[in-house]
Structure 1
Amino acid sequence: MSTGPNAPAGFPGAGVGEMTYVYAVGHEGPALDGLAARLPGVDGRPLRPVGGGGLCALVSAVPADTFSERGLTAQMEDLDRLEAVARAHHAVVDAAFAETSVLPMRLATVYLDDARVADMLVRQCSEFRELLGRLEGHVELGMKVYADPRAAAASAPATPASAGAGAGRAYLRQRQAQQRDSQDAYRSASDLAARAARLADGVAASRAVHRPQQGRLAASRPGVNVANEAYLVPREHTEQLRRELSALAEDVPGVFVEVTGPWAPYSFATAVTAESAGGGGPR
């Protein structure tokens, strides 16, 4: 595989009006070369390998107008388009991770051309090799904790009405009970998130705390996302930790736990240098 600034003129890099989109970085070799030959990238564009410093980046060409800084801003504001790009990106990363250890790049990481990608690999090869060694044999588990005050209220015993109580007083008692249920649900969710962190501490090699999700991104569960964390877990302990985390909320009214993965270790791969034109979208 011949890439980089001195690649021959026939090398199929990004063409006029195109940029180079980077999905993942791994060790140079047949695993990623073979994957590039059979898997499409964003918008169905063919993948290709770009090498440098003994490493390989999986890349594809993308239109410069839609992946420039202005074009990316517009795409990130269109949730349907963002979802389509994210699905294609993650499909490449997941397929690569199934073949070999890779560092997932952030969503919409783009360079002006293949030569700049190859140069980045050479300059950061020591850092990338160290990361690949640290992540070898590990996967990422995601863990979200949700508080749902309505579910907590539904499971609480009904507040008995006092004889002769007026409608206004009954309404006030109802509102006070709802507030207590809400406070209890959020407190229980926070306590459970702390228990989850302690549970994972004895197994996970590392922990990442993300901002809780809101709106459409948190639509997978009712209630409010109180905690959003990720754990870097040895493969052999993945299923045990998944079961233990999932069981934490079984007897906690109004609190739900969602465990996802195993994934490629997105939360534990270093972001690429600021020279790339693109940034990451929400997780």
Structure 2
Amino acid sequence: MTEDIPAPADGAEAVYVYAVCRADEPPDLTGPAGLTCESPLRALAVGPALAAVVQTVRAADFTDEAWQARLADEPELERYARAHHEVVCAVAARRPTVPLPLATLYHDEQRARAALGRESQRFRAALERTANHSEWGVKVYVTDAPARQSAEATSQGPAAGVGRAYLDRKRSLRDRRERHRTDALRVADAVDADVGALATASRRLPPHRAGVPDERGTQVLNATYLVAEERAAELARLAQNLRKRTGAQVELSGPWVPYSFVGEV
């Protein structure tokens, strides 16, 4: 939904949008300053019973050229991302909220209101789906000792006269590695099934790339779950039980604003 911001005239402004929420009462916008201290956060009506949390920014800061330069400046990009996220979290702490992507902006209020208003049905559906819910991340790691043993065995090579024994050892290690992989996938599926049964919705993401050294072992599950706030304690107990039952390292993170469950907005 973001408009392209062309090279602006000196002093030109744009409207930056952080999130959309219900407008049954004005959102409390005290707290974070947002991306700039030059203008306050404010609510902008964008449809029946909906309001966007917006801020006036300098258009020159968001041209394609300016944004490409920012993408190459990690500390500066992190500053923008953190400021955006702080506003979203502040609003979401008080009411159901649909966060918008970083750098969602429009030339003026009229265009922002029109563009966001066209998506009002999707916003209402997302707000209804995520109301009184939070996003939680679950990552599962298993030991990768068999892979290290296989590498050690291969590097040693066969001794004279023991070629068959060497091949048998390699075959045994290969079988162990395959069994280990199968068992690890079963653990991932079991954790995903149990947490998914407790959650309202879930998304299973690709595990981190194999081969990257990690003291926690090999990641076999990287998933995120939409969980009712009243079931947060139950989720924590389930994670603890899964650690004991599977012997795997089950990492639980959250609660977060449900970015993963608001759809493409």
Which TM-score bucket, shorter chain as reference? 0.7 to 0.9
C-alpha change, 1:179 and 1:234, in structure 2 (3 Å) is same
Equivalent in 17, 22, 25 of residue 17 of structure 2: 22
SS at match of 1:26: strand
Amino acid at match of 2:205: H
* Residue 69 in structure 1 maps to residue 64 in structure 2: yes
Query: What whole-Å deviation, never above 9, does each CA across 1:110-157 have from its counterpart, x for those lacking one?
Result: 223322221123222222112212222221111122345259969xxx
C-alpha change, 1:101 and 1:224, in structure 2 (3 Å) is same
Shift of 1:172: 9.9
C-alpha change, 1:43 and 1:227, in structure 2 (3 Å) is farther
* Residue 227 in structure 1 maps to residue 216 in structure 2: no
* Residue 269 in structure 1 maps to residue 262 in structure 2: yes
Count of aligned pairs between the two proteins: 247
Structure 2: give runs of 5+ residues left out of the alignment: 1-9, 154-158
Partner Cα distance (1:118, 1:231) in 2: 31
* Residue 42 in structure 1 maps to residue 24 in structure 2: no
C-alpha change, 1:129 and 1:184, in structure 2 (3 Å) is same
Superposition RMSD in Å:
3.9
CA contact (8 A) 1:147 1:186 kept: no
SS at match of 2:93: helix
- What is the aligned partner in structure 2 of residue 85 from structure 1? 80
Instruction: Please tell me whether Structure 1 or Structure 2 has the larger radius of gyration of its CA atoms.
Output: 2
CA contact (8 A) 1:208 1:231 kept: yes
CA contact (8 A) 1:145 1:227 kept: yes
Amino acid at match of 1:258: E
C-alpha change, 1:250 and 1:48, in structure 2 (3 Å) is same
SS at match of 1:42: coil
Structure 1: give runs of 5+ residues left out of the alignment: 1-14, 160-164, 273-283
Amino acid at match of 1:239: A
Percent identical: 32
Say which is worse superposed, 103-112 or 260-269, in terms of deviation: 103-112
Equivalent in 225, 239, 250 of residue 233 of structure 2: 239
- What is the aligned partner in structure 2 of residue 195 from structure 1? 190
CA contact (8 A) 1:147 1:185 kept: no
